[in-house]
Structure 1
């Protein structure tokens, strides 16, 4: 399944849950369900943004973007993270206000139906996106998965909270029920702050062209050191960064008269050897390998 198809399905799914959440939340006056529905509506907009960004990145425009347009991906994810962060913060403020003003009167029984539907539905989407994310290295798909995971957590919290509220209505603690809804909003919003912050941090690293994951760095470094030893190169310099789906790798080998590869043909053989050994990395690779006898040019 293509990235576009995955994102399109995510949009339709988010729209379904958004409409359900908002209508249900308004009907029973539940801030928690409204927050869940509002988050889903935001997800629709963010998914459409991802869809548009993915389509734009695929369009060839080497004249204006000689190094590709992959940086658009982390920029869009940053926007998504900021929007989700603001949504969580606004929900926290609203929940604190409700708690300070006597809670909210919600019929927990009516909320349970929505909670079951939403939790199961969102969880199914998360499983689907997890499988697709494993097959395709896409920042957009990974971000969608995180959005849906957050929605699953929200829905799960609604389910647990209203189950507790339903039980409490039959006890001497029935008066506490009015605080369940805003308390859930507060707790879930605080917990979910971690997700957009993580997305923001990872995407900022890509926009700033910082080094990729340690596992990738380690693998490339080990390979280069093997080549350096094999051909008795004096030294090697490695620079790597990941931007969107593109992995930039720049390797400079510093030679001397004792090095085992001196001709252009031999250098091309080494380039081919390195390219073959990292071919399984699931990224579009921008590989540059240079050879020099002067460290100044490395």
Structure 2
């Protein structure tokens, strides 16, 4: 666990420092060359820095053992932070989108295309490198996955900017040179329009975790596949499976309802069943909170008693 956290912590630090560099680079360079898209790229990186710092602090807090105050762990903070992160990104996208529309309607943006092209090239290479690093380790935690998504967005933004400014340079040598001022705000509209989907999707997933809704069907199917042979072996009439994913932890609640035909299930048998369930779901890379109960009366499995 310590090594896993150390890896997570180091990756988040890399994300913070590189994002800080590109934030300063983008905001300053965007102002100098009068480019909305570069300024947005830098501002996005600056927001990423603050949000990455928040992720790092919360990740450290979650790892601290405090069973007395948080008997079920602190993983709920992970989806809450992810909602905050993508909520801020969504707001930033909306504000930038409105600014681009205003600029487009007022005649475009007079941008110094040559220096802007240099920034776009350097930024694209750097963002892609960080994204590849984080994406290789995204299964370590929800925080790293969120960071990888942020850098994926930034990489695609930078790539779109690079393509846009190359197009602007080519257009400037044609009779359509008058269109060059419109390239910058049009790129903003295209990039923002495409990326609005990501924060909406990720916030929806995080809200599902906060509400402790069922995870992906594949996870539930995996546990049902393990439970079915156990039911047959002990002639268990019915079982009720409940799963909730919160951050990097799965809460699994299984109630086996025994009938008159069921075989005797000793305490030793129950522990073997628990071990079997854990062993056969090791490929699910989550921490697991497993509760397995046995009862003759289904009412004790309903969990909504007054």
The interval holding the TM-score normalised by the smaller chain is over 0.9
Deviation at residue 248 of structure 1 after TM alignment = 0.5
Deviation at residue 110 of structure 1 after TM alignment = 1.3
Greater Cα shift, 219-228 or 174-183: 219-228
- Aligned residue number for residue 12 of structure 2: 7
Query: SS where residue 289 of structure 1 aligns?
Result: strand
**Match for residue 58 of structure 1 among 37, 58, 63:** 63
Query: SS where residue 2 of structure 1 aligns?
Result: helix
Q: In the alignment, is the contact (CA less than 8 A) between 1:74 and 1:206 conserved in 2? A: yes
Q: In the alignment, is the contact (CA less than 8 A) between 1:261 and 1:267 conserved in 2? A: no
Query: SS where residue 242 of structure 2 aligns?
Result: strand
Deviation at residue 261 of structure 1 after TM alignment = 3.5
> Is 1:100 the counterpart of 2:105 in the alignment?
yes
Matches within 5 A, 1:151-190: 151-190=154-193
Q: In the alignment, is the contact (CA less than 8 A) between 1:74 and 1:204 conserved in 2? A: yes
> Is 1:284 the counterpart of 2:275 in the alignment?
no
- Aligned residue number for residue 73 of structure 2: 68
Partner Cα distance (1:261, 1:252) in 2 = 16
TM-score, reference length from structure 2: 0.95
Partner Cα distance (1:168, 1:281) in 2 = 52
Greater Cα shift, 258-267 or 71-80: 258-267
- Aligned residue number for residue 83 of structure 2: 78
Partner Cα distance (2:176, 2:282) in 1 = 62
Partner Cα distance (1:222, 1:39) in 2 = 44
Q: In the alignment, is the contact (CA less than 8 A) between 2:234 and 2:265 conserved in 1? A: no
- Aligned residue number for residue 203 of structure 1: 206
> Is 1:39 the counterpart of 2:32 in the alignment?
no
- Aligned residue number for residue 258 of structure 1: 261
Residues 79 and 47 (structure 1), Cα distance of their counterparts in 2 relative to 1, 3 Å cut: same
Task: Please identify runs of 4+ aligned residues in structure 1 that moved more than 6 A.
Answer: none
Deviation at residue 270 of structure 1 after TM alignment = 1.4
**Match for residue 232 of structure 2 among 226, 229, 232:** 229
Deviation at residue 265 of structure 1 after TM alignment = 2.0
TM-score, reference length from structure 1: 0.97
Query: SS where residue 279 of structure 1 aligns?
Result: coil
Let me know the Cα RMSD of the aligned residues.
1.0
Partner Cα distance (2:50, 2:171) in 1 = 38
> Is 1:25 the counterpart of 2:24 in the alignment?
no
- Aligned residue number for residue 121 of structure 1: 126
Query: SS where residue 251 of structure 2 aligns?
Result: strand
